[in-house]
Chain A
Amino acid sequence: MTEDRRIPVDINTAVDAVIRELDRLEGLGKDELARSGIDLYS
């Protein structure tokens, strides 16, 4: 059996991380956003 090494993260901490990332991304200009590396691929 594989040991589960995941560490629980407080859900509010995760939500805060999402909000911070959105704050950051929404503040970027078009060129900065293009350079930020947002790319959806599979």
Chain B
Amino acid sequence: MYCSPQGRIGELKVLKLGQVADAYQSSSSILADDFKTSPTFGYQAILFPPLQRRALTFFLDRVRPSLEAAHPELLRPDSHLFASSRNPNRIADTSRHMAKFFQRALGNSFSYPNSSNYVAYNLKIFQASTQTVPCFAP
């Protein structure tokens, strides 16, 4: 049994639309299969606590439909969940959007200039938003 509070939050941004259904069937995690050690380990959990579930539901219900209307190919299960509105074949630069949000919400002195800080910070946020720690057998 492998229990981890980590769970590759950064992999959220590379999820495909078709993987979202799996997320809603789970109580606490999504299985990712697109990361550098996936050839060895196959799948790894991404934390999916209540606050993240709420944000993703809002995105799917209220934000993504406008992108889908402009780019019908985004209705395909293999389309990027967070596709760029300028080029749906590309993944949106979510780390930059997150940085801009927190700089606006918490002050311009707040910054994390690289992706590892983005991942670490979001992991802390998601951990803080739930007491659930995913446990799964590899």
Which A residues have a C-beta under 8 Å from some C-beta of B? Answer: 5-7, 9, 11-15, 17-22, 25-26, 33-34, 38-42
A15→B52 CA distance, assembly (Å): 11
CB neighbours (8 Å) of A42 from chain B are 84, 86-87, 90-93
Q: Write the nearest CB–CB distance from B66 to chain A, whole angstroms.
A: 7
Residues of B within 8 A of A (CB): 51, 54-55, 58, 62-63, 66-67, 82-87, 90-94, 97, 101-102, 105-107, 109-112, 121, 124-125, 128-129
Q: Told that A22-B58, A41-B86 touch, could you supply 9 new A-B pairs with CB distance under 8 A?
A: A6-B112, A9-B106, A14-B102, A18-B55, A19-B51, A22-B51, A33-B63, A40-B92, A42-B86
Chain B residue with minimal CB distance to A8? B110
Tell me, rounded to whole Å, the shortest Cβ–Cβ distance linking A40 to chain B.
4
> Are B106 and A14 interface neighbours, CB within 8 A?
yes
B92 to chain A, nearest CB (A): 4
Main secondary structure of the interface of A (DSSP, over half): helix
Q: Are B111 and A15 in contact (CB under 8 A)?
A: no
In the bound complex, CA of A5 to CA of B109 (Å): 8
User: B residues within 8 A CB of A38?
Assistant: 63
Q: Which residues of B contact A22 (CB under 8 A)?
A: 51, 54-55, 58
Chain A residues with Cβ below 8 Å from B62 are: 25-26, 33
Q: In whole angstroms, how far apart are the Cα atoms of A4 and B21 in the complex? A: 41
Residue of A nearest to B83 (CB): A40
Taking the closest CB of chain A, its distance from the CB of B129, in whole angstroms, is 6
Please pick, from A14, A25, A39, A40, the residue contacting B121 in the complex, using a CB distance under 8 A: A14
